[in-house]
Amino acid sequence: MITSYSRQTLIDWFHRTSGVNGQPTPDEVKTTCPLCGGDVLYFNVRKQVGVCHSAGCEWHDKVFLHELIEVFGFAPSQHGEWEDAPEHLQKEVTLPGYPVLFRDSNRELMTNSEPSLEYLRGRGIDDLVTLNWGLTCDGERIFVPIFDMDGSLRNYNSRLLPGFQGKKYLYCVGAKTSHYILGWGECRDWEDLALVENTFVSLAYRGRMHCATTFGSNVSELQADLIAESGIKRVAILWDENAEAGADRALKKFDERGVRAAYWKIRGQPDDYPIDWVAEKCAEIKQAADSGKKWIDYRKLSQAP
Ligand SMILES: [Zn+2]
């Protein structure tokens, strides 16, 4: 019986078995050949067949998935976190509300909601970010779209406007937040990445730093894979006070994938501090990541104004 696995499932499986050498392309993963030990086994994750480039290797012409499964001793996960991904990925999400900002026929910037615009500006979010990201509002909440790599809308995060009763932050019901990274279509081409917990903080920093969010103080296996497969070389984790345990777990995931990362320890949360201060510390955290340091403690230095 032939079982077809998704690309992500196979990449995860190689991470757990013979490793992933370099950046996988959409079709191909380069791994270490478990038969000859050469690091030039190219496995096509679409056709689910590979070839080992080592001369003299038995798999020089062709190796099938079932042969790899036999050597590794276990098949790619069928019940893990990955299995529900393809089904979920087909789910289309509609962004509620209407644009906070739009251009009229004279190309003038107009708003549908003064309170929303005022709130976003108050959080340091540039008007052009509000416009270009297509942030919407429905009178009570502001919505931030969360796109898949192919540009399909898969989720949104929303914030209750001041003066209304309800949950402060809400994601789209049924969407899997841990499958995505905010603005991934753009950040996957960056060389470095800063991660904050909050979606709106991320948007406020976007013009100043290469900043995104994994939507909280956790990096899922899938998000770590996305980052490892991108051009990103180092990650600065700028989470809130007391997120050290989560940051340690994230570091472990990045380390397993060959991505350099470090985090900071601060009092409060990043938006308690001036953006210049954050940008400066962010640069230091990236240097720390490069030199193999795990974290820098700014708690003595930092005092929330
Ligand atoms: Zn080989």
Mutual orientation of helices 221-229 and 244-256 as an angle, nearest 10°?
A: 50
Q: Ligand 1 centroid to 32 CA: how many Å?
A: 8
Q: Are 65 and 59 in contact (CB under 8 A)?
A: no
241-297 pLDDT per residue, tens: 988 988 999 999 999 999 999 999 999 999 999 999 999 999 999 999 999 999 999
SS3 content of the chain, % helix, strand, coil (to 5): 30, 20, 50
CA distance 162 to 105: 31
CA of 35 to the centre of ligand 1 (A): 5
Q: How far is CA 101 from the centre of its chain?
A: 26
Single out the residue of 2, 20, 23 nearest to residue 10, CA to CA. 20
Ligand 1 centroid to Cα of residue 233, in Å, is 29
- Residue-wise pLDDT tens digits, 94-139: 999 999 999 999 999 999 999 999 999 999 999 999 999 999 999 9
Whole-structure pTM over 0.85, yes or no?
no
3-state SS class at 201: helix
Cα–ligand 1 centroid distance for 15 (angstroms) = 18
Q: How far is the CA of 57 from the centre of ligand 1 (A)?
A: 5
- Both structure tokens of 243: 């997120």
- Does the CA dihedral 186-148-263-24 come out positive or negative? negative
Q: How far is the centre of ligand 1, averaged over its atoms, from the C-alpha of 229 (Å)?
A: 23
140 Cα to the center of ligand 1, angstroms: 60
- Over residues 183-223, the pLDDT tens digits come to 998 888 899 999 999 999 999 999 889 999 999 888 888 89
Separation of CA 274 and ligand 1 centre (Å): 54
The DSSP bridge pattern shows strands 295-297 and 211-213 to be unpaired
The pair of three-digit structure tokens given for residue 149, joined into one six-digit string: 């790599």
Cα(304)–Cα(139) distance, integer angstroms: 32
43 Cα–ligand 1 center, Å: 12
- 7-16 vs 221-229: helix crossing angle, rounded to 10: 90
User: Are 11 and 257 within 8 A, CB to CB?
Assistant: no
Ligand 1 centre to CA of 46 (Å) is: 20
Q: Is 93 left (phi over 0), alpha (psi -120 to 50) or beta?
A: beta
CA-based end-to-end distance of the chain: 64
Cα–ligand 1 centroid distance for 293 (angstroms):
36
Ordered domains of the chain (ranges, CATH): 7-73 (no CATH), 91-176 (3.90.980.10), 178-305 (3.40.1360.10)
Q: How far is the centre of ligand 1, averaged over its atoms, from the C-alpha of 34 (Å)?
A: 7
What pLDDT sits at residue 85?
A: 41
More confident position, 74 or 2: 74
Q: Count, in order, helices (H) and strands (E) of the chain.
A: 10, 16
Distance 74 CA to ligand 1 centre (A): 19
Residue 300 confidence class, pLDDT cut points 50, 70, 90: confident
Q: How far is the CA of 8 from the centre of ligand 1 (A)?
A: 23
**Cα 51 to middle of ligand 1, angstroms:** 8
- Distance from Cα 22 to the centre of ligand 1, integer Å: 17
Per-residue CA distances from 82 to 2, 87, 152, 252 (Å): 18, 10, 19, 19
53 C-alpha to center of ligand 1: Å? 7
